[in-house]
Amino acid sequence: MKKFIYFLLFVALGWLIKLSYDFYHVSQQLDDIQQVLHKSEQKNASLNDQLVAVQRQADEPAPQESKKIATIDTQVEGISPSVVIKQQLELVQFALQQQQFVYALEHLTQLNQSLDRYTLADTVKQSLHQTIDQDIQSIQQFVIAKNAQQAQLDSMMKQIDQNLMVELKNNQVSPAKNQPEFFWQKWLQIDVIKTTAPELVNRKFILKEAQFRVLLAQQLLAKGQNSEFQTMLNQAIQQLDQLPDQSSQKLKQQLTQLKQIPMLPVPKLSSLAVLG
C-alpha cells in the first residue's frame, strides 16, 4: 500500500515538474511573439511614412514632365502630312483585313473630309480625294458581294449538315459506284460492300466528326477566317474519305465543290499608291 502511495506521489511530482517546464516554455514563446509583433509594428510605421512621402512626391508637379510632353507634341506636329495620312490609310487596310468594314468606311470618309486641313500640294489632294472615293465604292461593292457569297455558302453548308443528319439515322449503306469502262460492264457489275469493315462499324462516329467540322467551318466563315475555313473543310473531307459507301462519297463531293468556290479577296486601297 505504501509503495502505491509513493508511486502516486512520484507521478504527481513528475507531472508538476512537466507543467512547470511547459509554462516556462510557453512564457518564453509569448515573449518572442511580443517582440516580433513590436518589430512588425515599427516596420509598418516606417512603411507608412515612406508611402506618405511617395504620395507627396507623386502629387508634386514634375518640371521635366511638361518638357517631355512639349517635346512629344513638337515631334508629332513635325511629322510630314503625307506620313500621317499614309498611316491612317494603312490602319484602314488593316481594318479591312480584320473584316471591320464599317470602321474602314467611316475612317475613310472622315479622312476624305479632313484632307483640306493638311499641307499638301493641290494635285496630291485632288488625287487623294478621287482615289479615296474609289476605295469607298470598292469597299461597298465588296461588302455586297461578300454578303451574297456568304448567303450562298451558308445555304450549301446547311444543306450538307442536313444530309449528314439524315445519314446519321440511316442504317442502310450501299457501295460507291464506279463508272464502267464498257457498256457490258453495266450488266455484269456486282455491288458488294463489307458491312463488317472497321470504317462502316464506326460510320456514325466518322459522320459525327465530319458534321462537327462542318459546323466549325461555318463559324469560321462567319468570322471571315477564310484560311481556317478551308482547313476545316479539308478535315471534314478527310473524315468522309474513310467511308466507302455511296452516300458518304456524295457528301464528300459536296464538300469538295464547296471548298473549290473561290473566296473574294479583300480590296486593296488604291489611295495608298498615291503617297508611294
Residue 232 lies in a domain: yes
Is 205 exposed, middle or buried (CB count within 10 Å of its CB: 0-12, 13-18, 19+)? exposed
Question: How does DSSP classify residue 199?
Answer: H
Same domain, 222 and 174: yes
Distances (CA, A) of 130 to 2, 115, 134, 211, 234: 123, 12, 6, 48, 42
- In tens, the pLDDT along 144-173 reads 999 999 899 989 989 988 988 888 887 766
Same domain, 245 and 222: yes
Please check the confidence at residue 107 and state whether its pLDDT lies above 60: yes
Give residue 106's pLDDT.
93
Same domain, 159 and 202: yes
Residue 203 lies in a domain: yes
pLDDT tier for residue 184 given thresholds of 50, 70 and 90: very low
Same domain, 182 and 221: yes
- 91-105, 112-126, 188-202: which has the minimum mean pLDDT? 188-202
- In tens, the pLDDT along 39-77 reads 655 654 554 555 445 445 434 444 443 333 333 333 345
As given in the structure block, the three cell numbers for residue 176 are 460507291
Same domain, 124 and 107: yes
Could you give the number of structural domains in the chain?
Answer: 3
pLDDT tier for residue 250 given thresholds of 50, 70 and 90: very high
Mean pLDDT of the chain: 75
Same domain, 20 and 87: no
Same domain, 240 and 161: yes
CB 155 within 8 Å of CB 235 = no
**Contacts of 116 by beta carbon, 8 Å cutoff, 6+ apart:** 125
Residue 70 identity: A
How far is 108 from 140, CA to CA, in rounded Å? 12
Same domain, 231 and 158: yes
User: What percent of the chain has pLDDT above 70?
Assistant: 62
CB 138 within 8 Å of CB 111 = no
Same domain, 160 and 254: yes
Please check the confidence at residue 179 and state whether its pLDDT lies above 90: no
Residue ranges making up the domain that contains 132: 79-145
Residue 267 lies in a domain: no
CB 234 within 8 Å of CB 187 = no
